Amino acid sequence: MPIETILNRLERMSGLDMFGRKLGRVYTKVVRPGRVRDVLSGTFMRHPAHPALTDMTIGAWTSAIVLDMFGARRGSEILVGVGALSAVPTAITGLNDLSDITDNQTRSVAVAHAAGNVASLSLFVASYFARRSGAHRRGVALAWTGFAVLNAAGYLGGHLSFRRGVGVNQTAFDDPIRSWTPVLDAGELHDEKPVRVGVDGTDVMLYGSRGKIYALSNRCTHRGGPLHKGKIADGCVTCPWHLSVFRIDDGEIVRGPAIAPAVTFETRIHEGKIEVRSHD
């Protein structure tokens, strides 16, 4: 069966999507927006935490497989255990990312990805205890099986990142506004009331306050939430979807789970029109 057919079927499995929804609801009730959520999202390092953590788990288990091939039993046993331990924070950050997915098809694949990783972890844990009990051959067989499942789950993880854009800055591919472009009559923007305007295919939020006009990309960098529908207070806007908070004047992140600042634009009033352009 072609890979694309398998992916399409996974994307349309409503049972996976439903389970993902329920799991996400439970997670968001336990882990609320704040410092812990920011750490799990990777806000502090401006990069998703989950992909970075997978390197240690995959690296440890891959190295264990290699050492098994050369008969280094003690070393491979240690690496199987290290990989299992590192899989715990990796899984938690993965669940954090899954809970933020808003698209049904993407969520279905994410649940399949998570299930594959849990199955792989279970096989490697079983491999570790088999080795410890002296059943080395069974431990090696379990590790190879877990490694095969790990690679399948990893493929789905790549699909989520590179085809579905999970963890990618949602404004990364927006074209810059290179020249001053009129977007709204100056009289139509009222203080403390955000307005969404379109500029060459890019949604921009305009906001007036105390004689100043601010403009920033209307799409939250995290999952593309509409910022003009969010709460604005103390010079910041809160995304209505996952509650990331950005400063309106420079787009800087005040609170995650966003990992990339909001894109801001220069503004001016020219001949009665509000005009915007990208910063030089």
Q: Give me the domain span that covers residue 198.
A: 181-278
Structure-token pair, residue 159:
């699909």
Structure-token pair, residue 109:
């694949």
Letter for the amino acid at 240? P
For residue 89, is the peptide bond before it cis, meaning its omega torsion is within 30 degrees of 0?
Answer: no
Q: What is the average per-residue pLDDT within 154-172?
A: 95
Q: What is the average per-residue pLDDT within 268-273?
A: 96
Q: What CA–CA distance (Å, rounded) separates 170 from 218?
A: 11
Given a contact cutoff of 8 angstroms between Cβ atoms, the answer to whether 78 and 100 are in contact is no
Using pLDDT thresholds of 50, 70 and 90, give the confidence band for residue 1: low
Q: What CA–CA distance (Å, rounded) separates 148 from 158?
A: 16
Tell me, yes or no, whether 199 and 139 share the same domain: no
Tell me, yes or no, whether 229 and 265 share the same domain: yes
Tell me, yes or no, whether 81 and 138 share the same domain: yes
Tell me, yes or no, whether 154 and 201 share the same domain: no
- Name the β-bridge partners of 198: 203
Tell me, yes or no, whether 154 and 34 share the same domain: yes
What is the residue-averaged pLDDT of the chain?
A: 96
- Is 60 a member of any domain? yes
pLDDT digits (tens, 9 = 90+) for 85-136: 999 999 999 999 999 999 999 999 999 999 999 999 999 999 999 999 999 9
- Single out the residue in 162, 196, 216 at which a domain terminates: 162
Tell me, yes or no, whether 16 and 153 share the same domain: yes
- Single out the residue in 162, 193, 225 at which a domain terminates: 162
Q: What CA–CA distance (Å, rounded) separates 110 from 237?
A: 29
pLDDT digits (tens, 9 = 90+) for 133-155: 999 999 999 999 999 999 999 99
- Is 157 a member of any domain? yes
Q: Give, in degrees to the nearest 5, the angle at Cα 182 between 177 and 183.
A: 90
CATH number at residue 268: 2.102.10.10
pTM recorded for the entire structure:
0.90
- Is 171 a member of any domain? no
